[in-house]
Structure 1
């Protein structure tokens, strides 16, 4: 199974190639975070994992022209949603144990308007459906068949999202039907994106195909406001990736933002949220090495931070100084 963190597209655009050729070491990343905590930066966009580099590039095209953060995060996460080679987001995502690709997404703007879809099939861009739920309905979340009906009524095209490679892996999985997600492997990743625009406003988006070979109907943290994403335009924003059940357990992104409200830096807020997960995992008698959760956070000054349970999580940052990928610091040292 190909690991995205060892894979670089040869067709990447120039700015992406430059960023990928100048990855920061963990020490460099730590130095950058410390420096960032003493400065202010806007506009700025952060997103999870290596595919965040390309997503950030799309978002930056809007942010650099004084565009709205909400438009930027939608445009940004649509990049991996449409890429059949990205096996944990949108088109190309791995299916559930019934062979169905089901997608989850949510979006939140500077006014605390929110929209979400869960267990949505046949629609390539769930993030855009989530935005229309926010803008055109009296509801916050639509799920399953109802979400699909709404999408089709808004002009979205029904498509087969199960690509050949995902179908092949699913059929191989059926031979043993063993459900055991592996940390830092793209059977449970997400793209979460948070942005601060030139006007000082925050927005965020989160989208995923969820855990590979999950039970049909399983929903993780990604479409849940307060779990996989939260934005408070007075304070900051946060998004999460990894094992969604663990993020839901602590209302993770709301917790990160509330810790920032209490005066903690984005970095310290992410660290405390991960420590909360660690504590509960130990209390429940579970093995910490079997889970991965990562948070990224951004405050109103454009200062950011990240932290995860164990090594292997990285995130992309794009501001006026460029687009780069950083390794997150982590709790579990080997």
Structure 2
């Protein structure tokens, strides 16, 4: 006997895979392949099936279905270090765009830069049978991300390279971007250029410091340790470090900042003491176009990091069982220089 809703009217039964198949004029197996994101479906067929899904309002309880079959969940995990940083929200949007195209969903977690928390999150994702995961490593300690610990769950690293493990990786051209930014400061006439960076144990910070140093050495500009601060972690500590540099009697006329948070801290310091210090920074800065004074940004497409990482991951996820395992791959996102305000 058909069920009724609270008004007493017969309740419509939920559409099934067979209903979708009939509407699209394909077999139920083809519908399943489209919903799993398998590549062996023609674009026209995929379009018809997805249109039928929308028209019928079909919803697949993928988790329940997968657990019944002993398969994964239809989910991809994304583990980042700091959700307060816009960089990671852009990375997540890029990854979600690709995941959604393949009928998958993204589960997001943040570690706060703590390795212990990262290990807990990745273990939880494995227990939930995610199809694979993208991780921005908190540190070079990555034994909890090896294939045995993850029980074979496909892994892609973003922003920072693998250390002691094998994994596909998507990086930014940290060294090249920093070298280009520092070199532009020199071409703008600065012969005293300081560096404001995060702790040297972080890969990005180390590579950007190396790029800054290389640019100055190539131009014959002095590299002075007194003009280097490498212990800033956020806007507040960056502001304090920049003030310490700029209040010196021999303060540099320009600062290169290793991240967008550090650039904002340095900007506050420059505004606070009213110097004409030129600023260059790595990573996009929100509202950079309305900030007063010259600002040079080493920019790149953070969404593209997420897109590339998701593509590499899904390529692993959809690999046919028994096919040879590909060697770990590395993709590098390029950078460009963007000027804001009046340059010196």
Larger radius of gyration: 2
TM-score by length of 1: 0.27
The structure where helix makes up a greater share of residues is 2
TM-score by length of 2: 0.26
The structure where strand makes up a greater share of residues is 1
